[in-house]
Amino acid sequence: MSRLDGKRALVTGGTRGIGRGIAEGLAAAGATVGVNHPPGEAAAADAVVESIERDGGDAVAFEADVSDADDVSEMIDAFESMLGPIDVLVNNAGILTQSPLAEMPVEMWDETMAVDLRGVFLTTRFALPGMLEAGNGSIVNVASQLGLEGGEELVHYSAAKGGVIAMTRALAREVAPTVRVNAIAPGPVRTELLDDISEEWRDAKEAELPMDRLGTVNDVVPTAVFLASDESSYYTGQTLSPDGGDVMH
């Protein structure tokens, strides 16, 4: 029996990078996975679903802009109608841009907060009632080590991810013991998201890391599978950090 047999999981931002890796990892562990994608990325979501199915797993694509309340509400309703109550929610969808705060367009700040923090709230808000009614659930929020230590020219992203970590701790207290809420704070990981950050920043960060390399998606996925599974049944309100030693806490 696999670790997540019979579980139903929804992964936001599941078409690429860490989100895709987690979706595939949960499916390999036995979960039926909903792969969320924003408007315009249906083909990418279908590719993830096909990849999971080729490996013998079950997956369904769900479209929603996680910053839009109506979109998210409709996605949760569609998931529950098609697959049943959500057992595992992975809030992964996020964007990453770079700018000194003194030059940052207000729109850049607002967009980051809308996707990286509001999106976590909205998806959790609409998924949580079903979890509470079912009497169980695991929420895994993908934050960042920058939510713990901050980063130059990434004040907006750091603030949003710090908010995700604070929300994780507060909600964990609110819904325990019925639903567990934990976060993952990865270090810099080689994905498309990091392509929007300057090479100089990436090189400087790599040089700082005790493990002497940037992370990979495969460095993060096992933590998500662990937090989704009953193996972590005594974990809640925690932030686990596959970050190469960037933040030691």
pLDDT tens by residue, 81-128: 999 999 999 999 999 999 999 999 999 999 999 999 999 999 999 999
Report the pLDDT value the prediction gives residue 204, as an integer from 0 to 100. Answer: 81
Under DSSP, is residue 149 helix (H, G, I), strand (E, B) or coil?
helix
28-62 pLDDT tens trace: 999 999 999 999 999 999 999 999 999 999 999 99
Q: Is pLDDT of 13 > 80?
A: yes
235 is a catalytic site residue: no
Pick the closest to residue 215 from 17, 28, 23 (CA basis). 17
Q: What is the pLDDT of residue 237?
A: 98
Residue 5 has pLDDT above 70, yes or no: yes
Residue found under tokens 């925690």: 238
Kindly report whether the peptide bond that precedes residue 129 is cis, defined as omega within 30 degrees of 0: no
What integer pLDDT is reported at residue 205 of this predicted model? 77
Query: Which amino acid, one-letter code, is at 164?
Result: V
- Name the E strands within 50-179: 58-63, 88-91, 138-142
Comparing 139 with 199, which gets the higher pLDDT?
Answer: 139
Structure tokens at 59: 């997956």
Q: What is the predicted pLDDT for the residue at 214?
A: 84
Exactly one of 62, 109, 126, 157 is catalytic; which is it?
Answer: 157
Cβ 30 vs Cβ 7: under 8 Å: yes
The vertex-194 CA angle with 190 and 107, nearest 5°, equals: 160
Residue 4 has pLDDT above 90, yes or no: yes
pTM of the model: 0.95
Q: Is 21 exposed, middle or buried (0-12, 13-18, 19+ CB in 10 A)?
A: buried
Strands (E), the chain: 8-11, 32-37, 58-63, 88-91, 138-142, 180-184, 239-240
Per-residue pLDDT tens over the stretch 183-226: 999 988 887 767 767 788 778 878 888 888 888 999 999 999 99
CA distances from 232 to 34, 105, 139, 238 (A): 22, 41, 12, 11
β-partners of residue 9 are: 33, 88
Of 215, 134, 132, nearest to 176 by C-alpha is 132
Q: Which two tokens stand for residue 25?
A: 């990892």
Provide the pLDDT for residue 1.
59
- The per-residue pLDDT for 206 is 81
Go through the domains of the chain in sequence order and give each one's CATH number: 8-238 (3.40.50.720)
Q: How many CB atoms lie within 10 A of CB 233?
A: 11
Decide if 148 contacts 248 (C-beta within 8 A).
no
Q: Which of 10, 57, 53 is nearest to 35 (CA)?
A: 10
Q: What does the pLDDT read at residue 192?
A: 74
